[in-house]
């Protein structure tokens, strides 16, 4: 991350800290989703009293309350929200208001069927769940703007409202007439002429050539790879427009003091749309961190936090996290005692400024009756309440140390939505899981550096000593030039398999892989091979196996071979599997195979050593994660034991134990234990 980016990140983090602190909420803050409209008003005060006792400092309200806000068309009833906000403030809590646009009321669904989402077969969804609206419907966007303007006019200057959340977990697209019209307009604006579109998509294949724009179907199923990639980009533009419609309505009345966000669900890695682009118009990013079935996978969850932080390259909030268990998994088991606390502190270590539980109280009816909560339907605490209360106490103790700090990394992984879509459109191997491929790079990087950024390729690159780009399938000319310039200026770029296979239109690059970077690498991929069985590889990084995917490379003079395939696959035997070359002040490396975990770790360590990167790390046992946040002349270490066994970590020197007090030289953690420490002065 560049110095400018770090400064901006810390400034934004400080801004939110100051905003929250001014309203009585420190950073990090503990929050809950609260639905006052679902309960008798006399129950509000007892609930809020229990929240306050647990250290809850923020509540989110309103995101499913459209019927309570507009029971009949044009009749707005917002007094109850004002009373709820005032009641929360009386218990030292600030409020984030959710716009209710994820679940339109029954009167709208019945009277205006044009607002309903059409599925891939053109069938309208029925009222009774949520997300049955069309995000492209002009009529629905009009209703959204009207209700949001009413809310912003009423609460835009309320001192107890710190922010706005637009809708809830954007998800499904639609095939309604407005979507079709907007898609054709999008294609006209991008391609200019139908002839240009036909050329870029190579529509001569299977006689797909179009004569008119209205012949082009929505790309929701199987089809031309150019069409399918462009459709995903179109979906992104429409969710962004849906969001912007409400941002503009809020900003008519709400000052910048009140941030605008949305909570992105889908367990972070969902790619129905480009989340980096969605984030561009928001002040703050929040996401919903769930495990579902099983237990927390620390590397995957940590990488997801880093991905989320990378969308805007700044700290973030977790707007929803499970209080023990969910009710939508195959087996909605509970996390172990203390495991959720460890998850919460992992989020803070990766840059979370606030963490909120979904939800506060068990709903009496509806589709999520069994979901984990802090209190039961009778209004008394559930077993998890005590763990939440401990987290609230933790946050109160750690606020002074955490506030104004953020993670800073020397290495980054490039995550590209175009490339993910392009590979998903034609995976070639159902064993090629792109998230697992990325995590194969992330795990050793996290172990060896203890801080990794995950960023969009369009982000500033110059301050990173190393960039890793697994599966960078789509490399347009401009990106190729930026990556080459990064290397020539002294960076080390490591490309993974399938890199540079496609251009911006999802067409095969005639230069072979890695496309525009073939001259910089001094090598190209001769052929790719999805694998049924592992193949041995050996070279400068040691020996191991290529698994799932393998490519043969043809290096030119001046490019060094670092791994070679052994016996086991006649097409691969004896051919280069990885190559590297010095270019300008830097280096470019191409790894053409997915490597087994031990060899991948050895490769990453060797690459870090070659670059001369010597990050400050603490030696930790398996299952313990170290995160470091810095800022305002301070540094704070967040150590999390993700194991059900006790663990100890020897610290680099004397440190202050933030949660327990006193000076320590060793971090002793029980099962799922947490230590927050700052250097002793």
Task: Point out the residues that are catalytic.
Answer: 169, 320
| Whether the Cβ atoms of residue 76 and residue 151 lie closer than 8 Å to each other | no
What is the CA angle 311-312-317, rounded to 5?
85
Q: Three-state DSSP class for 674?
A: strand
In sequence order, what are the beta bridge partners of 356? 31
| Whether the Cβ atoms of residue 636 and residue 401 lie closer than 8 Å to each other | yes
418 alpha carbon, distance to own chain's centre:
15
Q: Helices 79-90 and 44-53 sit at what angle, rounded to 10 degrees?
A: 40
Q: Which residue bears the tokens 């390259």?
A: 313
What does the DSSP 8-state code read for residue 101? T
Cα 80 from Cα 75, distance rounded (Å): 14
- Residues near 633 by Cβ (< 8 Å), separated by ≥ 6? none
What does the DSSP 8-state code read for residue 102? T
- Per-residue exposure over 590-607, b if at least 16 CB sit within 10 Å of its own CB, e if not: bbbbbbeeebbbbbbbeb
Cα within 13 Å of Cα(475), Cβ side: 28
| Whether the Cβ atoms of residue 452 and residue 412 lie closer than 8 Å to each other | yes
The tokens describing 64, both together, are: 């499913």
Closest CA to 452 of 248, 302, 577, 277: 302
Cα within 13 Å of Cα(554), Cβ side: 10
Cα 113 from Cα 186, distance rounded (Å): 25
Closest CA to 107 of 149, 137, 63, 143: 143
Q: Three-state DSSP class for 454?
A: strand
What is the CA angle 43-48-50, rounded to 5?
100
Cα 671 from Cα 515, distance rounded (Å): 49
In sequence order, what are the beta bridge partners of 544? 537
In sequence order, what are the beta bridge partners of 561? 579
- Count other Cβ atoms within 10 Å, centred on residue 210: 17
Cα 13 from Cα 9, distance rounded (Å): 6
39-42 long-range contacts (CB < 8 A, ≥24 apart) are 39/361, 41/80, 41/83
Q: Helices 434-449 and 597-611 sit at what angle, rounded to 10 degrees?
A: 50
What strands, in cross-sheet order, belong to the sheet with 406-407? 406-407, 624-631, 634-641, 674-679, 647-657, 663-669
Q: Three-state DSSP class for 605?
A: helix
Cα 188 from Cα 186, distance rounded (Å): 6
Cα 164 from Cα 293, distance rounded (Å): 30
User: Which backbone phi and psi does 625 adopt, to 5 degrees?
Assistant: -110, 140
């Amino acid at each position: 991350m560049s110095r400018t980016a770090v400064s901006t990140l810390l400034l934004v983090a400080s801004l939110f800290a100051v905003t929250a602190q001014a309203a009585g909420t420190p950073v990090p803050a503990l929050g809950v989703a609260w639905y006052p409209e679902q309960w008798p008003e006399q129950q509000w005060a007892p609930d809020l009293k229990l929240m306050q006792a647990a250290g809850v400092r923020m509540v989110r309200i309103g995101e499913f309350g459209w019927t309570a806000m507009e029971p009949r068309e044009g009749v707005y009833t917002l007094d109850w929200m004002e009373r709820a906000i005032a009641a929360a403030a009386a218990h030292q809590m600030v409020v984030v208001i959710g716009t209710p646009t994820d679940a339109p009321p029954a009167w709208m669904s019945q009277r205006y069927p044009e607002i309903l989402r059409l599925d891939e077969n053109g069938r309208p969804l029925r009222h009774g769940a949520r997300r049955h609206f069309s995000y492209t419907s002009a009529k629905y966007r009009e209703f959204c703007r009207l209700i949001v303007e009413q809310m912003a006019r009423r609460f835009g200057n309320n001192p107890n409202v710190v922010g706005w959340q637009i809708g809830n977990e954007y998800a499904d697209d639609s095939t309604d007439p407005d979507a079709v019209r907007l898609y054709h307009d999008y294609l006209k604006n991008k391609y200019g002429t139908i002839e240009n579109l036909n050329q870029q998509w190579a529509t001569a294949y299977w006689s797909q050539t179009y004569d008119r724009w209205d012949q082009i179907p929505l790309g929701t199923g199987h089809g031309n790879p150019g069409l399918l990639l462009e459709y995903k980009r179109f979906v992104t533009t429409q969710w962004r427009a849906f969001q912007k419609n409400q941002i503009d309505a809020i900003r008519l009345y709400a000052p910048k003091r009140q941030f605008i966000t949305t909570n992105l669900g889908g367990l972070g890695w969902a790619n129905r749309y480009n989340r980096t682009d969605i984030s561009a118009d928001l002040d703050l990013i929040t996401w919903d961190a769930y495990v579902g079935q099983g237990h927390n996978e620390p590397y995957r969850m940590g990488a997801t936090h880093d991905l989320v932080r990378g969308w805007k390259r700044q700290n973030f909030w977790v707007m929803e996290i499970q209080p023990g268990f969910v009710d939508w998994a195959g087996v909605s088991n509970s996390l172990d005692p203390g495991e959720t606390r460890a998850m919460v502190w992992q989020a803070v270590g990766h840059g979370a400024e606030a963490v909120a539980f979904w939800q506060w109280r068990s709903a009496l009816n509806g589709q999520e009756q069994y979901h984990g909560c802090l209190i039961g339907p009778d209004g008394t605490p559930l077993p998890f309440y005590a763990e939440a209360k401990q987290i609230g106490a933790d946050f109160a103790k750690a606020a002074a140390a955490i506030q104004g700090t953020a993670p800073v990394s020397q290495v980054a992984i490039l995550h590209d939505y175009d490339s993910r879509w392009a590979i998903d459109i034609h995976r070639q191997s159902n064993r090629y899981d792109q998230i697992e491929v990325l995590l194969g790079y992330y795990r050793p990087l996290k172990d060896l550096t203890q801080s990794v950024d995950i960023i969009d390729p369009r982000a500033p690159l110059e301050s990173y000593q190393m960039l890793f780009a697994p599966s960078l399938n789509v490399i347009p000319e401009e990106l190729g030039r930026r990556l080459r310039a990064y290397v020539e200026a002294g960076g080390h770029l490591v490309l993974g398999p399938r890199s540079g296979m496609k251009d911006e239109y999802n067409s095969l690059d005639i230069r072979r892989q890695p496309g525009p970077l073939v001259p910089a690498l001094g090598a190209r991929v001769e052929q790719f091979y999805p694998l049924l069985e592992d193949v041995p590889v050996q070279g400068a990084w040691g020996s191991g196996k290529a698994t799932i995917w393998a490519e043969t490379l043809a290096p030119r003079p001046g490019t060094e071979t670092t791994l070679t395939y052994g016996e086991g696959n006649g097409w691969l035997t004896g051919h280069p599997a990885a190559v590297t070359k010095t270019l300008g002040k830097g280096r470019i490396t191409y790894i053409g195979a997915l490597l087994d975990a031990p060899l991948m770790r050895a490769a990453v360590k060797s690459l870090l050593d070659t670059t001369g990167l010597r990050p400050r790390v603490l030696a930790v046992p398996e299952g313990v994660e170290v995160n470091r946040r810095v800022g305002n002349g301070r540094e704070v270490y967040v150590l999390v034991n993700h194991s059900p066994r006790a663990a100890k970590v020897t610290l680099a020197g004397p440190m202050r134990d933030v949660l327990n007090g006193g000076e320590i030289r060793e971090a002793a953690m029980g099962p799922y234990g947490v230590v927050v420490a700052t250097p002793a002065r």
